[in-house]
Structure 1
């Protein structure tokens, strides 16, 4: 996020990166409690999962690096 100018260089900056095994990890705000009731009825969040919000511009900046399915 520092490269995008969207941080004050403090702890807790949103980020996206690819792990060595190809999995994607996201750092963002935990909005599970405040947003769980906004999900479509067929979406569930398990006890070991969290809803994580990242800024739109972060995902848009990462888009060129995300391969098409």
Structure 2
């Protein structure tokens, strides 16, 4: 069975959504930068801490992290700063 959606590894980062991590104070430099980007195909890339292993056993019954997927965590400020860049529908 094919998946209804799959990530395109050839899609390019085109536009940051929200403020840069340096402006939000969520990074100590270039490394470890939580961020949200729109790709040229309209998909969204999220850069955060991989906490898949920490959350895997406590996920709600209807949540799964599939093979090849990771659960990433970003600061609340990162997502809130992106709100103005996201369409309502």
TM score, norm. by length of structure 1? 0.89
Which residue of 2 is the match for residue 38 of structure 1?
Answer: 58
Alignment gaps of 5+ in structure 2: 1-20
Which residue of 1 is the match for residue 37 of structure 2?
Answer: 17
Q: Say which SS state the counterpart of residue 38 (structure 1) adopts.
A: coil
Q: 1:1-69 maps to which residues of 2 (within 5 A)?
A: 1-69=21-89
Per-residue deviation, 1:33? 0.3
Alignment gaps of 5+ in structure 1: none
RMSD, aligned CA: 1.1
Give the aligned length: 69
Q: Which protein has the larger Cα radius of gyration, Structure 1 or Structure 2? A: 2
TM score, norm. by length of structure 2? 0.71
